[in-house]
Amino acid sequence: MSGPLDGVLVVDLTRALAGPHAAMMLGDLGARVIKVENPGAGDDTRGWGPPFVQPDSGDRESTYFLAANRNKESITLDLKDDGDKALLTELLRRADVLLENFRPGTLARLGFGTDVLAELNPRLVTLAISGFGHDGPEGGRAGYDQIAQGEGGLMSVTGPGPDDPQRVGVPIGDLLAGMYGAYGVLAALLERERTGRGKVVRTSLLAAIVGVHAFHGTAWTVAGQVGRAQGNHHPSIAPYGLFHCADGSVQVACANESLWRRLCAEFGFDPEADGMATNGDRVVNRPAVIALLEGAFASIGAEELLARLNKVGIPAGKVRTIDDVYTWDQTASQGLLVDVEHQTLGALTIPGPPLRFFSPGPDGETETTRRDHLPPPVLGSSNDAIRRWLAASDGVPQPAGDDVEDGHAT
């Protein structure tokens, strides 16, 4: 149950969120991830808070850092120091994957350009994440998530209306860039099995956000229509959105005509009423559709309404708060919470990876999902272990866990 990337060595030079998230995804899949941090302060996110755990202690840790760094080891290196650069060189000789999110050109100035890396380790797969791309008229521009959400058009289609653009409530540009980056790394590793050589994979916050425009993208490129924010209702499907009821609200999704007819039968609507007969009609007449449903729902409590919708097979749901989600038994059942033993904080429950793996067999499926997760590392906690391994190893990557005791590197 060590994961499909067992035996893959990842050197993670990234900080903040996009790169660390990609590295964490690879670690969740069983790769050994060595996170390289600046001496002293480490990854920027170690200081992003509150909230901090043990805020008045020298051992304090930010919950932001804990969110993006499970299944990693930490080593501190000063990349302007010749001795530390030599140690990084030895790591890269052994690595399968390098992750970096410096501004374009920075790694080359440090002496690790793509030509140097290719000579050092021809099988190395490098993932480079930037804000707006590594080339083009604005290549090299610094990028932070909210800036990229705005520049990439996402904020213009998010919020209550076109005059009140809103950011997505999580740093979605960073997270998407990390996901796309990990996906690119896996493709390059697969190609390496055929060619024997690594690749450079590049993505950016801008590319990741444009990559999820979905129907908004083709609405413009094909139909010439510019999408705008319109709150909690789908621009192309109706009814599909959030509806108020007697004691709160519920979300309802009627994505085809069969569901619309079931909804009408349950609540006494005429499915063929003027302006309601087809999805196209209902999109054009969305305010009337919303008024119709909310009029019927006004005397019904949320729990009763959800029960009725479920009874007739209408997709519907609550709007849960974060604490509701993490105390929901369905969340726990999917492996989305994991228990780890942190080196200074002790026992912690943290969010878990979103993938599960199963092996089919004659007697049914056997789950092979990784269970032995490493806690987010204390800054430099693997310094000695990694140096010992480099001194003793013959160049073959050592899987994560071979030098681990009680959940943290020894």
Task: Tell me the pLDDT tens digit for each residue of 117-152.
Answer: 999 999 999 999 999 999 999 998 888 999 999 999
Q: Which tokens in the block code for residue 37?
A: 């941090």
pLDDT band at 79 (very low <50, low <70, confident <90, very high): very high
> What confidence score (pLDDT) does residue 400 get?
42
Residues 152, 113, single domain; the answer is: yes
**Is there a single domain that holds both residue 172 and residue 34?**
yes
Confidence at 403, pLDDT banded by 50, 70, 90:
very low
Query: For residues 152 and 402, what is the distance between their CA atoms, to the nearest angstrom?
Result: 43
Q: Note down the domain range covering 312.
A: 240-317
Cα dihedral sign, 282-286-287-292: positive
Per the prediction, the chain carries an average pLDDT of 93
Position 395 confidence tier, pLDDT thresholds 50, 70, 90:
low
Does residue 407 have a pLDDT over 70?
no
Q: Find the mean pLDDT for residues 356-376.
A: 92
Cβ–Cβ < 8 Å for 188, 199 = yes
Domain boundary pick from 317, 334, 352: 317
Q: Say whether pLDDT at 292 is over 80.
A: yes
| 2-18 exposure pattern, b = at least 16 Cβ within 10 A, e = fewer | bbebebbbbbbbbbbbb
Selection from 10, 24, 15 nearest residue 355 by Cα:
24
Mean pLDDT, range 57-67, rounded to an integer: 90
Residues 49 and 194 in one domain: yes
pLDDT of the residue at 394: 65
Residues 254 and 112 in one domain: no
Structure-token pair, residue 226: 């510019």
| Residue 98: strand pairing partners | 11, 126
**Quick one: average pLDDT of 11-37?**
97
> Do 352 and 276 have their domain in common?
no
Amino acid at 87: L
Q: Do residues 41 and 142 both lie within one domain? A: yes
Write the CATH number for 292: 3.30.1540.10
Share of the chain above pLDDT 90, in %: 90
Q: How far apart are CA 174 and CA 206, in angstroms?
A: 10
CB count in 10 Å sphere of residue 204: 29
pLDDT tens-digit readout, 168-200: 999 999 999 999 999 999 999 999 999 999 999
In this model, does residue 378 exceed pLDDT 50?
yes
300 and 356 assigned to the same domain:
no
Same-domain status, 81 and 37? yes
Do 32 and 150 fall within a single domain? yes
- 4 in any annotated domain: no
128: which residues sit within 8 A by CB, 6+ positions away? 100, 101, 104, 107, 134, 200, 201, 202
C-alpha distances (whole Å) from 68 to each of 60, 237, 297, 375 are: 16, 35, 41, 11
pLDDT band of residue 56 (cuts 50, 70, 90) is: confident
On whether the CB atoms of residues 43 and 37 are closer than 8 A, the answer is yes
Does position 34 have pLDDT exceeding 60, yes or no?
yes
Based on the fold, state whether residues 395 and 266 are members of the same structural domain: no
CB 30 within 8 A of CB 2: yes
Same-domain status, 60 and 169: yes
- Domain assignment present for residue 47? The answer is yes
DSSP 196: S
Structural domain includes residue 184: yes
**C-beta of residue 391 within 8 angstroms of C-beta of residue 403:** no
Residue 279 domain flag: yes
Domain contains 293: yes
Q: Do the domain assignments include residue 64?
A: yes
Our CA dihedral for 19, 21, 22, 26, rounded to 10 degrees, sits at: 140
Q: What is the mean pLDDT of residues 71-88?
A: 96
- Asked whether the predicted pLDDT for residue 270 surpasses 50, the reply is yes
Secondary structure (3-state) at 242 = strand
- Catalytically annotated residues: 174
- Total domains in the chain come to 2
Under 8 Å between Cβ of 94 and 399 = no
DSSP-assigned letters across all residues of 294-332: HHHHTTS-HHHHHHHHHHTT--EE----HHHHHT-HHHH
Last residue of one domain, picked from the residues 266, 300, 317: 317
> According to the model, what pLDDT value does residue 222 have?
97
The pLDDT score that the predictor gives to residue 409 is 31
* HSE-CB for 166 with a 13 A CA cutoff: 12
Q: Are 345 and 61 in contact (CB under 8 A)?
A: yes
Residue 123 in any domain: the answer is: yes
Residues 246 and 147 in one domain: no
Residue pLDDT, tens place only, 294-328: 999 999 999 999 999 999 999 999 999 999 999 99
Question: In which element (H, E) is residue 129 found?
Answer: strand 125-130
Q: Which residues contact 254 (CB under 8 A, 6 or more apart)?
A: 237, 238, 239, 240, 260, 263, 314, 315
Alpha helix positions (H), 161-212: 172-195, 205-210
Residue 159's domain is classified under what CATH number?
Answer: 3.40.50.10540
> Do the domain assignments include residue 231?
no
